[in-house]
């Protein structure tokens, strides 16, 4: 397929990285088009494990160009830290990375403001990753105090913008937190100028590059970060990230028209997890949730926070699949559910006595939703070595078929372990 996308259909951490990795072989360019270093994925390459956050998963493949498109918010220090980490492992990937000059830059005030704002929300805190993502997107939309990568690599433009913005932001920061840090514009300019010197060779107009690549028959793979339910417009607002993390963000974030995407694959974890605040109807705040957390190693790649775990929420996932418009789904981490006598799938919500399969638009309604659970038999066998659907225990096959029916999309593959080989293609 000339252009394919991989989108998370839940609240992020669906193991999209593995699916992207499986598809990368056949593609020439991998594109990140939204989010920033709030995302996290673990990539195994040549026997070593690398943790990536901002860099596209394809970065380790020598035949692939990795693109950070305009819709991403870029912390230049995070880019360099990840590239340096790869180089230390023997993988010098900087020549394969392109960063859009239109992407926006995360600056120190974004992190300071986010910390102060989250603190001021008290119990209603969003539980953000504290990477300055939301505050950077806010300044982008607000336009007055925004810096793009194209400004960052222009020393004079960058210095004058920083001086002006620091004066303004310090007033806000002092009122939010009178005992807080005082920023030093000169130190910020020097610090970012050093990073800019290193990233300058990677900066380009990625939009033209991608459109030309399509004209020239190259194959593009769009790698979604976070998940559809964290989408700022369509997700569980305000407990969302600040970008369009559903399929809706591909065009706006990359500049590549939607009609060019010939195939969209949605990644679904065999259960559900969530990090940070916000309603989660099928959450298991009990021993079963803890068992899934341990079996699935459900701890944040970026922040290390334990993820909240629950039964597969098919209402939420179906909604994610519909708004993202995926053609098929990949079910990940099915092996984590081995060893349970019985399993449950949330097939509807009971909201104040009204049973519905529609995902509510108001967070308050989602918070009031009680899960209507379908009981399905579990399986005891270790399935991590199975590569054919017919070899799965009958109840695991039933589970996959139930997910297919409830989510309403064909299943393209099932992952039963982190390795590429641990994949059942349907
Ligand atoms: P932010 O993206 O740092 O602003 O955080 C907003 C919300 O999105 C918080 O609940 C985060 O935990 C969540 N979030 C952000 N990135 C990810 C991710 O990659 N996986 C799962 N949750 C995420």
pLDDT tens figures, 379-393: 999 999 999 999 999
pLDDT at residue 3, rounded to an integer? 95
| Mutation pick for ligand 1 pocket among 36, 225, 241, 279 (CB with most ligand atoms within 8 Å) | 241
276 lines ligand 1 (CB under 6 A): yes
- Whether ligand 1 lies within 6 angstroms of the CB of 226 is answered as yes
Question: Which pLDDT belongs to residue 267?
Answer: 98
pLDDT in tens, 268-292: 999 999 999 999 999 999 999 999 9
Domains and CATH numbers, the chain: 3-98+204-263 (3.40.440.10), 104-199 (1.10.300.10), 268-425 (3.90.170.10)
Let me know: does 307 contact 300? Beta carbons within 8 Å: yes
- Tell me which residue has its CA closest to atom 10 in ligand 1: 276
According to the model, what pLDDT value does residue 46 have?
78
Please give the positions annotated as active site: 13, 41
pLDDT given at position 146: 97
Q: Do 113 and 83 contact (CB within 8 A), yes or no?
A: no
Instruction: Scan for tokens 């070595």, then name that residue.
Output: 385
Atom of ligand 1 lying closest to residue 114 CA: 4
Q: Which pLDDT score is estimated for 42?
A: 83
Give 241 Cα–ligand 1 centroid separation in angstroms. 6
- DSSP-assigned states of every residue in 274-339: E-SSS--TTB--SHHHHHHHHHTT-B-TTT-PBPEEESEEHHHHHHHHHHHT-SEEEEE-GGGGTT
Is the pLDDT at 169 greater than 80, yes or no?
A: yes
- Determine the average pLDDT of the residues in 325-337: 97
- Count Cβ atoms below 10 Å from residue 237 Cβ, excluding itself: 14
Q: What is the pLDDT of residue 179?
A: 87
Provide DSSP, 38-105.
T--EEEEETTEEEEESSS-GGGG-TT-EEEE-TTBEE-HHHHHHHHHHHHHTT---GGGEEEETTSEE
**What phi and psi values does residue 68 have, to the nearest 5 degrees?**
-105, 110
pLDDT, tens only, 91-127: 999 999 999 999 999 999 999 999 999 999 999 999 9
| Rounded Cα distance, 126 and 136, in Å | 16
**Residue located via tokens 């308050």:** 364
What band does 158 get if pLDDT is binned at 50, 70 and 90? Answer: very high
Q: What span, in angstroms and rounded, lies between the C-alpha atoms of 231 and 227?
A: 7
- If you average pLDDT over residues 166-176, what whole number do you get? 95
Separation CA 107–CA 136 (nearest Å): 8
Q: Is the CB of 231 under 6 A from ligand 1?
A: no
**Rg of the chain (C-alpha set):** 22
Does 7 have pLDDT greater than 80? yes
pLDDT band at 171 (very low <50, low <70, confident <90, very high): very high
Q: How confident is the model at residue 411 (pLDDT cuts 50, 70, 90)?
A: very high
Q: Which residue has the higher pLDDT, 178 or 311?
A: 311
The residues, ordered by sequence, that sit 6+ positions from 418 with a Cβ below 8 Å of its Cβ are 18, 42, 44
Is residue 1 over pLDDT 80?
no
Q: The tokens of 28 are what?
A: 């020439």
State mean pLDDT over 419-425. 93
Out of 10-14, 88-92, 162-166, 317-321, pick the least confident.
88-92
Distance from the alpha carbon of residue 171 to the mean position of ligand 1, in angstroms: 28
Phi and psi at 58, nearest 5°, equal -70, -5
DSSP E strand boundaries for 144-299: 203-204, 220-223, 263-269, 272-274
Distances (CA, A) of 358 to 349, 351, 365, 399, 407: 8, 11, 11, 22, 12
pLDDT of residue 423: 96
The answer to whether 102 and 204 are in contact (CB under 8 A) is no
Model pLDDT, residue 300:
86
127 lines ligand 1 (CB under 6 A): yes
Judge whether residue 252 has pLDDT over 80: yes
The average confidence (pLDDT) of the chain is: 96
- Predicted local confidence at residue 277, as pLDDT: 92
Token duo for residue 413: 């593959």
How many other CB atoms are there within 10 angstroms of residue 390's CB atom? 7
Q: What is the mean pLDDT of residues 163-167?
A: 97
Query: Would the CB of 133 count as within 6 Å of ligand 1?
Result: yes
Could you tell me if the CB of 281 is within 6 A of ligand 1?
no
Q: Closest residue (by CA) to atom 8 of ligand 1?
A: 241
Q: How far is CA 111 from CA 134, 170, 379, in A?
A: 9, 13, 46
187 sits in which H/E element: helix 185-199
- What burial class does residue 139 get, using C-beta atoms within 10 Å of its C-beta: 0-12 exposed, 13-18 middle, 19+ buried? buried
Ligand 1 atom 11, closest CA: 128
What percentage of the chain carries pLDDT values higher than 70? 100
Mind listing the pLDDT tens digit for each residue in 182-231? 999 999 999 999 999 999 999 999 999 999 999 999 999 999 999 999 99
pLDDT at site 181: 87
């Amino acid at each position: 397929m000339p252009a394919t996308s991989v989108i998370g259909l839940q609240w992020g951490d669906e193991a999209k990285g593995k699916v992207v990795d499986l598809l990368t072989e056949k593609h020439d360019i991998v594109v990140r088009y939204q989010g920033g270093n709030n995302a996290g994925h673990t990539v195994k390459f040549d026997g070593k494990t690398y943790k990536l956050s901002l860099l596209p998963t394809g970065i380790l493949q020598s035949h692939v160009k990795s693109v950070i498109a305009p819709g991403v918010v870029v912390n230049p220090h995070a880019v360099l830290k990840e590239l340096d980490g790869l180089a230390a492992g023997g993988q010098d990937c900087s020549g394969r990375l392109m960063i859009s000059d239109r992407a926006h830059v995360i600056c120190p005030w974004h992190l300071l403001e986010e910390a102060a704002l989250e603190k001021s929300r008290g119990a209603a805190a969003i539980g953000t990753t504290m990477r300055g993502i939301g505050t950077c997107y806010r300044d982008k939309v607000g336009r007055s105090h925004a810096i793009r990568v194209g400004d960052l690599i222009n020393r004079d433009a960058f210095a004058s913008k920083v001086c002006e913005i620091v004066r303004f932001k310090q007033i806000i920061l002092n009122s939010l937190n009178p005992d807080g840090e005082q920023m030093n514009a000169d130190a910020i300019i020097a610090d970012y100028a050093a990073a800019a010197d290193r990233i300058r060779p990677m900066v380009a107009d990625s939009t033209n590059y991608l459109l030309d690549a399509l004209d020239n028959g190259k194959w593009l793979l769009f790698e979604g970060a976070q998940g559809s339910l964290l989408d700022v417009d369509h997700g569980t607002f305000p407990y969302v990230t600040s970008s369009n993390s559903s399929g809706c963000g591909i065009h706006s974030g990359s500049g590549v028209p939607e009609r060019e995407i010939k195939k969209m694959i949605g990644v679904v974890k065999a259960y559900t997890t969530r990090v940070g605040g916000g309603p989660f109807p099928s959450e298991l705040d009990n021993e079963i949730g803890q068992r899934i957390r341990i079996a699935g190693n459900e701890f944040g790649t970026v922040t290390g926070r334990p993820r909240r775990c629950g039964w597969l929420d098919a209402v939420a996932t179906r909604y994610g699949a519909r708004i993202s418009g995926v053609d098929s789904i990949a079910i990940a981490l099915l092996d984590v559910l081995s060893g349970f006598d019985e399993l449950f799938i949330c097939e509807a919500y009971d909201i104040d006595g009204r049973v519905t399969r529609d995902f509510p638009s108001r967070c308050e309604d989602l918070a009031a939703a009680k899960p209507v659970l379908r009981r399905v038999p579990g399986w005891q066998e270790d399935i991590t070595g199975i590569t054919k659907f017919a070899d799965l225990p009958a109840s695991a096959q039933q589970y996959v078929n139930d997910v297919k029916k409830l989510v309403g999309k064909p299943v393209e593959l099932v992952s039963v372990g982190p390795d590429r080989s641990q994949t059942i293609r349907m």
